[in-house]
Structure 1
């Protein structure tokens, strides 16, 4: 991904989930709980584990498969991409050959922009929240499909297959997190459940 698309995620689509979290209603029974000890940290090991172990890895896999989906859509073998950026996939580069088809530099640059957009869609889809869904989705569609804006952000329109890949992984993460919350509420003292509670 290039700098404008990273900034678009950080300063555009990231804002909506944060605003939605600020508007979430308070949990019931907060005043009935004992105060937390001074030794208890705000960012627990289980939260770090969730962020960087399973949720982060699932989201990364969704982004990667969406990225690969662009190349498969154009009939390019992923194995043919190995080290090809040394001579191709750049301004003034060489033609690229895969599956008996030659891709011009212009085609390569367009496909590369599509792949960046697919990765961006994967990142944003993996971070959806209920209230911010419509605003975030609208911004994402504009960033990928509005001519001029998508070029400025280093992207290009992507096929529906990429949306299906990232939507599947996004929905999987939502279901996984809702199951985690259910078990944390239902069995708060269970040793296994406590590994996923923060």
Structure 2
């Protein structure tokens, strides 16, 4: 019988074809992953994941008290949350270097003025650490400043932080106001940054909660 030498051409062809098939399957898998990832991203957007993340930076706390006293003194809750976030970071026991206390960081003198105006009995300084009392007094005071400055949030915020006396001086300086007499420049860096933070936080709270769809 004649010896026949085996050939491997067919095997090589099959191996070559198999590798090509693997590459094709890999490309298909990559395509599927890309499509699934894109659709997943769009789905996350639809569920407002970004807003939920932002809500951890701009939280809603003491909602009952904020809504109650915001309504009593005709303020937007979003503005009250912005003040609390900027002033104390929602820490009811916060005390500043200047002696301001509580969620909305009220000084004792300011607090007693508010107490007298609201005819609150048996008030003590320690009551400023009570969220309900502090928020009520803070809302009253900020609403009073808004009325004083024709509803201008920026000017009211400047007075809340820098004091009404300083704001009155700034309003008399032509270099610090526009043609309508509105305060446009704040000399104190701390107060200037404070106003910017209030406005930014206020807008974020409006976007995340008030105007949420």
* TM-score class normalised by the smaller sequence: under 0.3
Higher helix share: 2
* Higher RCO structure, 1 or 2 (CA under 8 Å, sep 6+): 1
Q: TM-score scaled by structure 1?
A: 0.22
Q: TM-score scaled by structure 2?
A: 0.21
Higher Rg of the two aligned structures: 2
